[in-house]
């Protein structure tokens, strides 16, 4: 028996083909997270950039029914100023053309399965710029299919939230790699995956608004953490998870109102994988 994943939710990888076909017939939205397998410091697993968004999508899908699609677990190459850099062992990256081709194929397959309402939800910073092109190409071939491209997975946080999360000041999203946000989300969503004794703070020697190749390691850190991780907490992770899942739900409800679905996709009318 497939494991149940929560009331009113459906996760593609745990569904049968009949259940997937039924969700497509009902015109249920499907959300594909695009992540990476990338070093996340000494304390977080390399799965962070796909495990986190998948967990957040499950939270959101428990509130408003949609299909949580299979995550793309490999992304574009890590950069020193935002991901620590391609020189770290453990990171498995794709070239841009490969990533775009894979995502285009996945979107085409969803269309073949008769999904017409699709969200591409990107988490890995370096993927931005490469997820729109395949969505555009698929849309050109299938104009009846609406694809929403979310390149930045995080919402704009309020001043109050930023003050609570970063009482010493917000370093900026690029430096939040393996730092407070992702460590707090793991502390709330998957605390057992954190190597608690290895959490650290770090900072690159320099952080210019440009990149340099060959890789300049002064733009990264020895640990792979780009800012503070020691101030992370499960409480902050709960706040972040709530705000991000609300962000996801706002996007879906704005672009795919539940009342417009052919078969209804509200939580009360949902099918559940299991």
Sign of the CA dihedral with 169 first, then 171, 172, and 177 last: negative
Active-site annotation holder among 177, 207, 247, 265: 177
CA distance 140 to 256: 20
Q: Let me know if 109 is a catalytic residue.
A: no
Q: CA–CA separation, 174 vs 115, rounded Å? A: 34
d(CA 70, CA 14): 10
Given 65, 124, 207, 247, the catalytic residue: 124
Annotated active-site residue in 11, 40, 43, 176: 40
Among candidate residues 19, 176, 182, 202, the one labeled active-site is: 182
Based on the residue annotation, tell me whether 124 is a catalytic residue of this protein. yes
Pairing assessment for the beta strands 117-122 and 93-94 based on DSSP bridges: unpaired
Q: 253 an active-site residue? A: no
65 is catalytic: no
40 given a catalytic annotation: yes
Q: Do 53 and 248 form a contact (C-beta atoms < 8 A)?
A: no
**For residue 111, how many other CB atoms are within 10 A of its CB?**
19
Q: Provide the β-strand partners of residue 32.
A: 120
Point out the catalytic residue in the list 11, 19, 38, 265: 38
49 catalytic residue (yes or no): yes
Catalogue the active-site residues: 38, 40, 49, 124, 126, 177, 182
């Amino acid at each position: 028996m497939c494991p149940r994943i929560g009331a009113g939710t459906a996760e593609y990888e745990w569904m049968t083909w009949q259940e997937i076909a039924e969700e497509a017939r009902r015109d249920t939205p499907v959300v594909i997270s695009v992540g990476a397998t990338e070093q996340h410091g000494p304390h977080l697993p390399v799965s962070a950039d796909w495990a986190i968004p998948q967990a957040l999508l499950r939270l959101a899908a428990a509130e408003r029914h949609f299909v949580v699609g299979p995550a793309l677990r490999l992304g574009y190459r890590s950069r020193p100023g935002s991901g620590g850099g391609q020189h770290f062992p453990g990171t498995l990256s794709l070239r841009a053309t490969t990533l775009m081709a894979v995502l285009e194929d996945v979107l085409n397959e969803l269309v073949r399965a008769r999904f017409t309402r699709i969200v591409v939800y990107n988490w890995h910073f370096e993927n931005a710029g490469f997820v729109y092109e395949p969505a555009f190409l698929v849309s050109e071939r299938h104009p009846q299919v609406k694809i929403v491209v979310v390149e930045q997975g995080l919402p704009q946080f309020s001043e109050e939230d930023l003050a609570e999360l970063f009482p010493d000041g917000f370093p900026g999203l690029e430096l939040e790699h393996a730092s407070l946000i992702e460590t707090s989300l793991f502390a709330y969503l998957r605390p057992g995956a954190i190597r608690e004794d290895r959490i650290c703070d770090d900072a690159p020697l320099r952080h210019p608004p440009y990149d340099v190749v060959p890789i300049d390691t002064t733009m990264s850190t020895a640990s792979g953490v780009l800012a503070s991780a020691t101030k992370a907490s499960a409480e902050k992770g709960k706040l972040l998870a709530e705000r991000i899942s609300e962000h996801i739900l706002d996007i879906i409800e704005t672009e795919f109102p539940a009342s417009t679905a052919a078969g209804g996709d509200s939580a009360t009318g949902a099918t559940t994988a299991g």
